[in-house]
Structure 1
Amino acid sequence: MVSTTFDNLNESKKILITDALLNEFSNHNLASAQVSRIVKESGIARGAFYKYFDDLTDAYNYLYHLAMRDIHQKIATDSDDQLRPNDYVEQVRDFIEKSTNSRYFALVKMHLLYNESTFLASFNNQLITENEFHWATQVMIHDAIKQIMVNPESKEIILQKLAKILRVLAKEDD
């Protein structure tokens, strides 16, 4: 967990370190990321890095959660006023749009392609207690986002397929 020492840094130093983290984790997966590149780019001592973060995974978690707060709206669930399949599709479209137009695009893509397996158990554990429709919906949404990030030219066809299968699951007519 990010230390209070990091939280109490002046804003310009936090931005400098966060930018170095963003550069590192946007260009290198978590397994090949290096503290040495981060400290060199941010101009901090290696010891300072470990005063701010437990390790690279901790720094990654900090940055990824920051990115998600910036680009990710609260995703409503089917318990929130009977969300309909097209609402889910619009949320996916919005997430893709915000991700694509954010400074975090390369980070999100790197996460989906290489890093998410490190964090998937947490995602799956949250979903396992949900009803079958919500579980299936979230798994398909997550996969659709990944496919679109990898193949942006296929966005519309993937969203159409997602909408169709969500309607089938929700037992709606086409």
Structure 2
Amino acid sequence: MPHDTFLNLSNDKKNSIENILLNIFFKQPISQVKVSEIVSEMKMSRGAFYKYFTDLDDAYTYVINKYALIIHQDIITYIQNDKNQFFLGIEKYLIWCSELNHESDYWKSLRLLTESNDLSAYKRFPLTEDSPLLTKWTDILEANQIMMEDYDESIAFLFFIMELVMNALTGYIANDWSTEELVKDYRYRVKWITKGIK
């Protein structure tokens, strides 16, 4: 977790640092990243970096968690747009991702998350029962008549769906698929989930 000195920065300064971290971690594995490279890009002293983050892993985990949350929120938004057709919203999100400019920060964040071997990419971030994200999720489940036994099951299903999306995108990137191939593979998964296998 970043130190308060980082969290209390202005949004512009924070965004600038996050963008630098995203680009550096996107270009090379964390094992090859040096703090000196980051502070050079940030035009600050090494000591300033350690006022913001405990170490390199802390900065990396922060970036992974930040972009994972953004992507999860966007997936929920796409599902909400087709509230009564749960899996169609996800398909539209995947198509949108496949058409992104590969130089965009959003694409870089997707690549970073799909290529991350770090367990923090799979760590479930805490959600309170009154969080806006969970409220949207509950509305979506109700609209699609997807019944969950309790709060814990609905959270587990939320992260299962997020993993489904990231897994589909990982396949798309790793196999250099076209949008059509991505959609075809995704539809297989939906069929297995909704109809089972014989």
> Normalized against structure 1, the TM-score is what?
0.71
Residue 167 and residue 99 in structure 1: after superposition, are their counterparts in 2 closer, same or farther (change >3 A)?
farther
Identical-pair percentage: 26
Supply the RMSD in Å over aligned alpha carbons. 3.7
Q: Residue 2 of structure 2: SS of its match in structure 1?
A: coil
Deviation at 1:64, TM superposition (A): 2.9
Deviation at 1:50, TM superposition (A): 1.2
Which residue of the partner structure matches residue 93 of structure 2? 91
Is the contact made by 2:168 and 2:182 (CA closer than 8 Å) also made in structure 1? yes
Is the contact made by 1:22 and 1:104 (CA closer than 8 Å) also made in structure 2? no
Cα distance in structure 1, aligned partners of 2:157 and 2:21: 37
- Which structure 1 segments of 5+ residues have no match? 124-128
Which residue of the partner structure matches residue 126 of structure 1? none
| Paired residues for 1:1-174 under 5 Å | 1-71=1-71, 72-75=73-76, 83-97=85-99, 100=102, 102-113=104-115, 115-119=116-120, 122=123, 130=153, 138-171=162-195
Is the contact made by 1:133 and 1:170 (CA closer than 8 Å) also made in structure 2? no
Residue 70 and residue 31 in structure 1: after superposition, are their counterparts in 2 closer, same or farther (change >3 A)?
same
Deviation at 1:100, TM superposition (A): 4.6
**Letter aligned with residue 46 of structure 2:** R
Cα distance in structure 2, aligned partners of 1:61 and 1:10: 21
Cα distance in structure 1, aligned partners of 2:28 and 2:172: 21
Number of residues of Structure 1 aligned to a counterpart in Structure 2: 168
Cα distance in structure 2, aligned partners of 1:70 and 1:21: 16
- Which structure 2 segments of 5+ residues have no match? 125-151
Cα distance in structure 1, aligned partners of 2:161 and 2:18: 33
Cα distance in structure 2, aligned partners of 1:102 and 1:166: 29
Cα distance in structure 1, aligned partners of 2:157 and 2:13: 45
> Normalized against structure 2, the TM-score is what?
0.64
Cα distance in structure 2, aligned partners of 1:58 and 1:13: 18
**Letter aligned with residue 119 of structure 1:** S
